[in-house]
Amino acid sequence: MNTTPFTQATAISTAAFVTIAGMRLVLSQSEIRALEAASDVDRQEPEQFSVGWIQYLQQRWPTYCLSSELSLLTTIPKERRACILLASGSDHIGILCDEVRIARHNELEQQHELPPVMHLADTPILSLVGLNENDVGCLTDAKQLMTHITRLVKT
């Protein structure tokens, strides 16, 4: 298994840990355009499989609630206290999460490839980050997450 400097495969100068039910997603901070309280999500008339809408730049964007398995939830657990607005090009979506934390520089020194036996064709996980002996982050990006959610909604 290869261990490579974090900056090599997916150049993230500043990353954020987005915690969902104990699972940590690692996202580029530049793709997180806004951080709101979950209570700011407009719950009225949500799109199918979404939980509401979040406002950004005079538009509203569908907001989704994910499990630690990255499956869609239509009932929001009480731990989902925050909402990140993710951007990929001109597309935006909101994702509810428990906590968001900016990564310290020394937390991102090592990146590990997802072991081949774990690599499903449609996984949004790009690689893994060993944070310490007791924690692992799952590196993804806004485009992968949007594609994953779109696939879940269509199926």
Partner 1 sequence: MMTQIEPNFRTNAWLLNFGPGLRAAVGTQVLLHIIDDPKIHPVPCTPAHCHSVVSWQGQLLPVLDMASLLDDGPQTHLLLAIAGYQDHTENVTRFGALLISAPPAAIAVGATQSCPLPEQPVGWNKYALSCFDYHDVAIPILNLARIFSPPTNFTQMQADYVVQNLTQNTLEPL
**Would you tell me which residues interact with partner 1 (CB under 8 A)?**
1, 3, 23, 68-70, 110, 112, 114-120, 122-125, 128, 130, 133-136, 138, 148
> Which residue number, 43 or 101, has a Cβ lying nearer to partner 1?
101
Q: How far apart are CA 37 and CA 100, in angstroms?
A: 11
Min dist. Cβ of residue 102 to partner 1 (A): 21
Min dist. Cβ of residue 84 to partner 1 (A): 17
> Which residue number, 10 or 55, has a Cβ lying nearer to partner 1?
10
Min dist. Cβ of residue 39 to partner 1 (A): 26
Please name which of 60, 20, 59, 67 lies closest in space to residue 43, comparing C-alpha atoms.
60
Min dist. Cβ of residue 97 to partner 1 (A): 13
> Which residue number, 45 or 122, has a Cβ lying nearer to partner 1?
122
Q: How far apart are CA 33 and CA 92, in angstroms?
A: 9
Residue 69 Ramachandran class (φ > 0 left, ψ -120 to 50 alpha, else beta): alpha
> Which residue number, 37 or 120, has a Cβ lying nearer to partner 1?
120
> Which residue number, 34 or 114, has a Cβ lying nearer to partner 1?
114
Q: How far apart are CA 125 and CA 33, in angstroms?
A: 21
Min dist. Cβ of residue 41 to partner 1 (A): 22
